[in-house]
Amino acid sequence: MSTIRLLVGLGNPGPEYSQTRHNAGFWLVEQYARMHGHTLQPDTKFFGNSTRIQKGGMDLRVLQPMQFMNRSGNAVASLANFYKIAPEEILVAYDELDLPPGVAKFKTGGGTGGHNGIKDIVARLGSHDFHRLRIGIGHPGDKSKVTGWVLGKASQADQLLMDDTITEACRSIDILLQQDMRAAQQHLHSFKAQREK
């Protein structure tokens, strides 16, 4: 059994951002909560929306920080400190420029990849040791176009790829919680391989 106790999805609050690529992490936690019959509720104590999913041996808190991407760490650290959740018991889902739409990958620790949400979480937790779930959104090809890209809407084709991947990623999180990281990674990898056939 994995010891993940907190699942975080990164994005920006507000209707003007809800359909933008940068909100892939929000989409994931909303869908994950739905799959388990929950909805995320405003939780001002932790600067975001949250829910708690308890099933079998699973006791998972799900969090959507609502203070804009570059201040995501505030919500994460507040909840983690309150419930005494260690960095290595946290999984953070977010958009990844370096992966194409249709691909998602787990990763443990490492750098921030220039992602403002991850940077702030590292700063607030004082640790790089949390797990990440990177959801591919593709790259516009030029550094100067990155801001417009992440804050823009994906094409219909790319959106469908991302939606499918998020569904599989949610299933992989269940596998991670019931088994371990390796089994979860294998599930995501086999999903990608099947689609490429």
User: Counting beta carbons within 10 angstroms of the beta carbon of residue 178, is it exposed (0 to 12), middle (13 to 18) or buried (19 or more)?
Assistant: middle
pTM of the entire predicted model: 0.93
Q: Identify whether 128 is a catalytic site residue.
A: no
Structure token pair of residue 6: 């907190």
Annotated binding site for tRNA: 17, 68, 70, 116
Structure token pair of residue 155: 């094409």
User: Counting beta carbons within 10 angstroms of the beta carbon of residue 169, is it exposed (0 to 12), middle (13 to 18) or buried (19 or more)?
Assistant: buried
Give the whole-angstrom CA distance, residue 48 versus residue 72: 9
CB 10, CB 63: distance < 8 Å:
no
pLDDT, tens only, 143-173: 888 888 878 888 888 888 889 999 999 999 9
Amino acid identity, position 72? S
CA 10, 188, 178, 87 torsion: positive or negative?
A: negative
Residues 78-101 have a mean pLDDT of 93
Phi-psi region of 43 (alpha: psi -120 to 50; beta: other; left: phi over 0): beta
Annotated binding site: 17, 68, 70, 116
Domains in the chain (CATH in brackets) are 6-196 (3.40.50.1470)
Catalytic member of 22, 115, 131, 187: 22
pLDDT, tens only, 94-146: 998 889 888 999 998 988 888 888 999 999 999 999 999 999 988 888 888 88
DSSP assignment, residue 128?
S
Q: Which residues pair with 108 in a beta bridge?
A: 131
